[in-house]
Structure 1
Amino acid sequence: MPKEEMIGSNRMLAPCASELSDGQVVRAVVAGNSDLFEELIKRHQKPLVNFLYRMVGDLDLALDMAQDVFTKAFVALKRYDERFRFTTWLYRIASNNAIDHLRRHRPVTVSLDQPLPGGDGEMTLEMPSRSATPAQELEFRETARRLSEAVKALPPAYRQLILLRHVQHLRYDEIAEVSGLPLGTVKNRIFRARALLRRLLDGEEEGEPRAAASLEAGRRGGNAPRCIGRRASRRRQ
């Protein structure tokens, strides 16, 4: 099919496809309308790349991994269980890819279930909110920068859970499905990850890398790349 004709075909599909739920689109793709998979890519590409970028810390690698995730999802689509949200299933593939990469390139020697000293059972992660005055906005940016650096310093498995919970806003049961961990383990590790984050933010952990952007700023477009769609589109051609 000529490129111009293919683009025109996608434009005709878009208005109808945009009204369908993820599950309906999946069923249509499995039934033979493979062009509709583009609708799933369009919906989930940016947040997926954002998640992968924050996991691996490299934009080009995150774009490549997102392409691989969508390819794996397309191939395995017939095995998708509609009892779970499509995003839960998609992020399980993405999380596995990211964790596998980080284990190969940055082996983790920290025990994820070892008790952290100083935990009081009430530790929570407080995400910064936007402020009205310039001084408060500056304080927000500095807090957000330090938070993002602390997240990058977490062991990959902790980082995965924090991002799924506080950036992707998945429920605990969905995180358990994504990570393949028991629900109790998920809650326990998120607690420990928050406690470790608090220690990093309080400066108790020395020698940790410090350079990145905030979790929330990426969701607002402050640090996340804005050419994701075009870049990934070129890679698919």
Structure 2
Amino acid sequence: MTPTARTFETAVMPHLHASYNLARWLLRDDRSAEDAVQEAYLRAFRFFKDVRGDDVRPWLLGIVRNACHDWLRQNRHLDDQVEFDEVRDSETLGSSEDRSHADPLILLDHRDQAARVNQAIADLAPAFREVIVLRELEEMSYEDIARVAGVPVGTVMSRLSRARAMLRKSLQGERPAPTASANALRERKA
């Protein structure tokens, strides 16, 4: 491995999860996100020698963002065909031991709540979705988000404020009626 490849790997590989997370939220498809991240990492390697400063994360996520926007322009006809469902497609609920001892009603409620939040984020326009993902999920600073999105910090703050208001409005509605499975579980417990 060349010194440049080693340095690149050390600097950018710790941000692979954040890169994929951003791409998945922007593209709403796992396979497309994987392709965009791979393309972004190839671009990043090509221009790695030009990076200035210690924190490559905003620089790298900016490249990921651009790769996603390029993919969206090239595949506009596929937009919104496949949607990622965090609850359905993820095993982040905890270990099987945790799940086996948890109250099924609580698990169902958490699953429903997570699905509502994820859907509310997915329903945001891309400009609002990306700032929410970068700030709330990736915990980036306003300045770093501005670097990634290529907009002034004030625009980031404005978009975040508007995105949070849209999420609040979307999630404020009355809780959905209990599902048939939740009713069946309640009856069994009684």
Structural mapping, 1:67-86, within 5 Å = 67-82=38-53, 85-86=55-56
Name the counterpart of 2:26: 55
Gaps of 5+ in 2: 78-93, 95-100, 175-190
Q: Is the 8 A contact 2:8 2:45 kept in 1?
A: yes
Identify the match of residue 94 of structure 1 among 41, 58, 64. 64
> Does residue 152 of the first structure (1) align with residue 114 of the second (2)?
no
Gaps of 5+ in 1: 1-9, 11-28, 107-129, 205-237
Shift of 1:35: 4.0
**Which is helix-richer, 1 or 2?**
2
C-alpha spacing 1:186/1:42, structure 2 compared with 1 (3 Å)? closer
Deviation string 1:25-46 (CA, Å, 9 cap, x unpaired) is xxxx7xx432443344542223
Q: Is the 8 A contact 1:176 1:182 kept in 2?
A: yes
Tell me how far apart the structure 2 counterparts of residues 80 and 180 of structure 1 sit (CA, whole Å): 16
C-alpha spacing 1:197/1:43, structure 2 compared with 1 (3 Å)? same
Tell me how far apart the structure 1 counterparts of residues 4 and 52 of structure 2 sit (CA, whole Å): 19
> Does residue 138 of the first structure (1) align with residue 113 of the second (2)?
no
Tell me how far apart the structure 2 counterparts of residues 155 and 103 of structure 1 sit (CA, whole Å): 15
**3-state SS, counterpart of residue 33 of structure 1:** helix
Deviation string 1:86-132 (CA, Å, 9 cap, x unpaired) is 111111111122234335527xxxxxxxxxxxxxxxxxxxxxxx9x9
> Does residue 66 of the first structure (1) align with residue 59 of the second (2)?
no
Tell me how far apart the structure 2 counterparts of residues 54 and 198 of structure 1 sit (CA, whole Å): 19
Say what the alpha-carbon RMSD is for the aligned residues.
2.7
Provide TM-score, normalisation by structure 2.
0.69
Q: Is the 8 A contact 2:145 2:156 kept in 1?
A: yes
Q: Which amino acid aligns with 2:157?
A: K
Q: Is the 8 A contact 1:164 1:175 kept in 2?
A: yes
C-alpha spacing 1:103/1:194, structure 2 compared with 1 (3 Å)? farther
Tell me how far apart the structure 1 counterparts of residues 36 and 156 of structure 2 sit (CA, whole Å): 24
Name the counterpart of 1:6: none
> Does residue 45 of the first structure (1) align with residue 20 of the second (2)?
no
Q: Percent identity?
A: 33
Tell me how far apart the structure 2 counterparts of residues 46 and 66 of structure 1 sit (CA, whole Å): 10
Name the counterpart of 2:171: 201
Provide TM-score, normalisation by structure 1.
0.56
Q: Which amino acid aligns with 2:166?
A: L
Tell me how far apart the structure 1 counterparts of residues 35 and 50 of structure 2 sit (CA, whole Å): 23
Tell me how far apart the structure 2 counterparts of residues 39 and 99 of structure 1 sit (CA, whole Å): 26
Q: Which amino acid aligns with 1:75?
A: R
